Chains A and B, each alone.
With several copies, the nearest count.
Chain A
Amino acid sequence: MTPARAGFVPQVLLIPAIVGLALLVLPLAALVARVDWPTLWADVSSPEALSALLLSLGTGAVATTACVLVGVPLALVIARSGPRLAAVLRAVVTVPLVLPPMVGGVALLFLFGRTSWLGGVLGEWGLRIPFTTTAVVLAQTFVALPFLVLALEGSLRTTGTGYEQAAAALGAGRWTILGRVTLPLASPGLVAGIVLCFARAIGEFGATALFAGNSPGVTQTMPLAIYTAFNGAGVSQGTAVALALLLLVTAIAVLLLVRAWRPGSPR
Chain B
Amino acid sequence: ASQADSSPTATPLPGETEELGGTLTVFAAASLKAAFDTIAEEFEQANPGVDILPIVYDGSSTLATQLIEGAPVDVFASADEANMKKVTDAGLATGAELFATNTLVVVVPTGNPGEVEDLSDLGDDSVTVVLCAPEVPCGAASRTLLDDAGVVVTPASLEQNVTAVLTKVAADEADAGLVYATDVRSRDDVESFVPEGAADVVNRYPLVALADSANPDAAAAFVAFVRGPEGQAILQDLGFGAP
Q: For residue A131, which residue of chain B has the nearest CB?
A: B156
| CB of B22 to closest CB in A, whole Å | 17
A-B contact count (CB 8 A): 160
Q: Using C-beta atoms within 8 Å of the partner chain, give the interface range for chain B.
A: 35 or more
Q: Which of A84-125 contact B (CB under 8 A)?
A: 106, 109-110, 113-115, 119, 123
A189 at interface, CB cutoff 8 A: no
Give CA–CA (A176, B178) in the complex, Å: 57
B65 with A109: CB separation less than 8 A: yes
Cα distance, A109 to B165, chains bound together (Å): 13
Q: In the complex, A48→B182 CA distance in Å? A: 25
Give chain B nearest CB distance to A152 CB in angstroms: 33
Interface pair A233/B186, CB less than 8 Å apart: yes
Q: Are A106 and B56 in contact (CB under 8 A)?
A: no
CB-nearest residue of chain A to B66: A213
Q: How many residues of A contact B (CB 8 A)?
A: 34
Measured between beta carbons, the chain B residues less than 8 angstroms from A113 are 68-70, 171-173
- Closest A residue, CB atoms, query B162: A233
Do residues A231 and B161 form an inter-chain contact, with CB atoms below 8 A? yes
- Say yes or no: B66 contacts A210, CB within 8 Å: yes
Contact in complex: A130, B173 (CB < 8 Å): yes
Q: Which residues of A lie under 8 Å from residue B34 when comparing CB positions?
A: 232-235
Contact with B along A208-243 (1 / 0, CB 8 A): 011011111101100010011111111111000000
Whether, in the assembled complex, B133 has its beta carbon less than 8 Å from a beta carbon of chain A, the answer is yes
Interface centre among A123, A212, A235, by most B CB within 10 Å?
A235
Interface pair B173/A233, CB less than 8 Å apart: no
The A115-152 residues at the B interface (CB cut-off 8 A) are 115, 119, 123, 128, 130-131
Interface string of A138-182 (1 = CB under 8 A from B): 000000000000000000000000000000000000000000000
Within 8 A of A (CB), among B115-151: 128, 130, 133, 135-137, 140
Question: Judging by beta carbons under 8 Å apart, are A209 and B135 in contact?
Answer: no
Q: Is B45 an interface residue (CB 8 A)?
A: no
State in angstroms the CA–CA spacing of A209 and B136 once bound together: 15
Some 22 contacts from A to B, beta carbons below 8 A apart, are A106-B167, A110-B69, A110-B171, A113-B171, A114-B69, A114-B171, A114-B172, A114-B173, A130-B70, A212-B157, A214-B57, A214-B58, A214-B160, A216-B56, A220-B54, A229-B135, A231-B136, A232-B61, A233-B136, A233-B140, A234-B33, A234-B82
